[in-house]
Amino acid sequence: MTTRYRVEYALKTHRRDQFIEWIKGLLAVPFVLYSQPTGILNPDAETVTRNSNEAHRRYAEILRDVEHMIDDHIARQNSHNTIPSKLTMLVPTAGPFFTRLPLEAAFKYQDSRRHISSRRYVCPSFNDIRLTLNSAQAMAVTSGSLQLATFDGDVTLYDDGQSLEPSSPVVPRIMDLLRRDVKVGIVTAAGYTTADGYYGRLHGLLDALAASPDLTHRQKRNMVVMGGEANYLFEVDPDAGPSRLRAVPRAEWLTPEMAAWSEQGIVALLDVAEAALRECVRSMSLPAVIVRKDRAVGIVPSDPSIIIPRESLEETVLVVQRILELSALGERAERTIPFCAFNGGRDVFVDIGDKSWGVTVCQKWFAMRDGDPDGMIRGENTLHVGDQFLSAGSNDFKARSVGTTAWIASPAETVELLDELVMLMDREKKVEAN
């Protein structure tokens, strides 16, 4: 590892979302200028309301300006203009964007729920902005047409390491998406080779789907499970026996690029990753064991009650990532075989492929199944919901290159987002009807 890399790690730049931090910085200015912390000593309802209205107006104006900057960025990205957009110059890591983002409207919505403008001591936070971006994305994707919603598993649909139980509030909401003819993909890193493993994690949803009296047979089959990031595809089929899932042979869904990943290359890449993981376990004396699979290798705690410190997990991810990138094999393999090394919260895994491939397969699979073998659901009609956009490796982040995304922090936030989506779809329908 180079010194510069270590310095960057120390500064934690890789643990910041630069776009969100930049917006946070812009909103900090009116917060400082217009919040009146001393007003609390002498509360006067009229002044308090006036101050919060003023803060609201300023925040909304700034978000409208950012919204216009994104419009300009999109116009340049679509015309392949080589002159960088103003947004690129300010936030080099920004974009590409699949849709415009109605940030002003999204802020007004979030402000009505979170009362951001009424705060006098706590400025607009990372989470306020993350949720505003999610709302903007939900508004954009529903004002076009949402054709495919993909969901990460752990932390997004259920708590880390848990399962989707029948009582989960997520279950009726995903069924509602299917009822509206939105296709659904569960794109999880969890890698099981057989349907039983996925049934174990998703049984609440799969059983509810099979038993649903009002979803059509077609709608019930509008859901797939993509496991191991991009390695195992299962179609929901209520007639497929107790697991309700039918394994789709790889030959039926591998994209031409994926079909070119050689078995030999995959084994060699996992060998290098395994050796690197072993070395991390040894050098940091981690209480962990190696798990080797046909498409992944990882470390998990040697006893389920052990929590490996986050710092050790992150160090492991960064070391393995670097070794794979720097090794001659990694360079060669990187060109042909992508991998995703990430901190899963309690473990570290290196998977073959990543969620950009997993979501792409869903986009292509549904188009092919509906009779368009060369087609695919487009990025602007796809929404991937996940929790990993910042931690080392962040496996959901990869989905950003193929579709729109929403960044949630808990299953409860997924529920809120799904309610918002449905509300927006209903509103859109009403507008169309008038």
Residue 52: strand, helix, or coil: helix
Each residue 142-161 as x (binds Mg ion by CB under 5 A) or -, in order, gives ----------x-xx------
- DSSP output for 394-433: -TTGGGGGTSEEEE-SSHHHHHHHHHHHHHHHHHHHHHHH
Stretch that binds ligand IMP, among 22-30, 55-63, 153-161, 171-179 (CB under 6 A): 153-161
Any residues with CB less than 8 A from the CB of 371 and at least 6 apart, and which?
none
Stretch that binds ligand IMP, among 19-27, 172-180, 347-355, 365-373 (CB under 6 A): 347-355
List the 183-187 sheet strands across, edge first: 245-248, 232-236, 223-227, 183-187, 148-151, 382-386, 404-407
* Cα–Cα distance for residue pair 109/105, rounded to 1 Å: 6
Pick one of Mg ion, ligand IMP, none as the site partner of residue 108 (Cβ within 5 to 8 A by kind): none
The pair of three-digit structure tokens given for residue 225, joined into one six-digit string: 């499970």
Q: Which of these is catalytic: 17, 111, 128, 152?
A: 152
Please give the size of the binding site for ligand IMP, defined by CB under 6 A: 18
Residue whose CB is less far from ligand IMP, 129 or 189: 189
- What is the residue type of 26? L
Give the closest residue to 181 by CA, choosing from 223, 140, 211, 126: 223
Pick one of ligand IMP, Mg ion, none as the site partner of residue 420 (Cβ within 5 to 8 A by kind): none
| Among 146, 189, 323, 376, interactor with ligand IMP by CB under 6 A | 189
Each residue 217-256 as x (binds ligand IMP by CB under 6 A) or -, in order, gives -----------x----------------------------
In whole angstroms, the minimum distance from the beta carbon of 410 to Mg ion comes to: 11
Give the closest residue to 238 by CA, choosing from 254, 216, 265, 262: 216
Pick one of ligand IMP, Mg ion, none as the site partner of residue 330 (Cβ within 5 to 8 A by kind): none
Return the residue matching tokens 């705690």.
Answer: 301
Pick one of ligand IMP, Mg ion, none as the site partner of residue 395 (Cβ within 5 to 8 A by kind): ligand IMP
| Among 17, 67, 104, 154, interactor with ligand IMP by CB under 6 A | 154
Stretch that binds ligand IMP, among 119-127, 187-195, 397-405, 421-429 (CB under 6 A): 187-195
Beta strands in 321-381 (DSSP E): 339-343, 348-352
Give the closest residue to 407 by CA, choosing from 425, 384, 391, 424: 384
Q: Are 199 and 206 in contact (CB under 8 A)?
A: yes
In whole angstroms, the minimum distance from the beta carbon of 386 to ligand IMP comes to: 7
State yes or no: is 152 an active-site residue. yes
Burial 94-110 (b: 16+ CB within 10 A, else e): bbebbbbbbbbbbbbbb
Find the length of the chain. 434
Return the residue matching tokens 């009229």.
Answer: 46
Site for ligand IMP in 364-423 (CB under 6 A): 395
273 belongs to the binding site for ligand IMP (CB under 6 A): no
Residue 262: strand, helix, or coil: coil
| Among 293, 322, 369, 378, interactor with ligand IMP by CB under 6 A | 293
In whole angstroms, the minimum distance from the beta carbon of 158 to Mg ion comes to: 10
Residue whose CB is less far from Mg ion, 380 or 387: 387
In whole angstroms, the minimum distance from the beta carbon of 20 to ligand IMP comes to: 21
How many other β-carbons are positioned within 10 Å of the β-carbon of residue 89?
A: 10
Stretch that binds ligand IMP, among 105-113, 250-258, 292-300, 323-331 (CB under 6 A): 292-300
190 belongs to the binding site for ligand IMP (CB under 6 A): yes
Return the residue matching tokens 């934690």.
Answer: 12
- What is the residue type of 204? G
Q: Which of these is catalytic: 154, 347, 387, 396?
A: 154
State yes or no: is 419 an active-site residue. no
Interface residues toward ligand IMP, by CB under 6 A: 152-155, 188-191, 228, 293, 296, 298, 344-345, 347, 349, 351, 395
Catalytic positions, please? 152, 154
Interface residues toward Mg ion, by CB under 5 A: 152, 154-155, 387
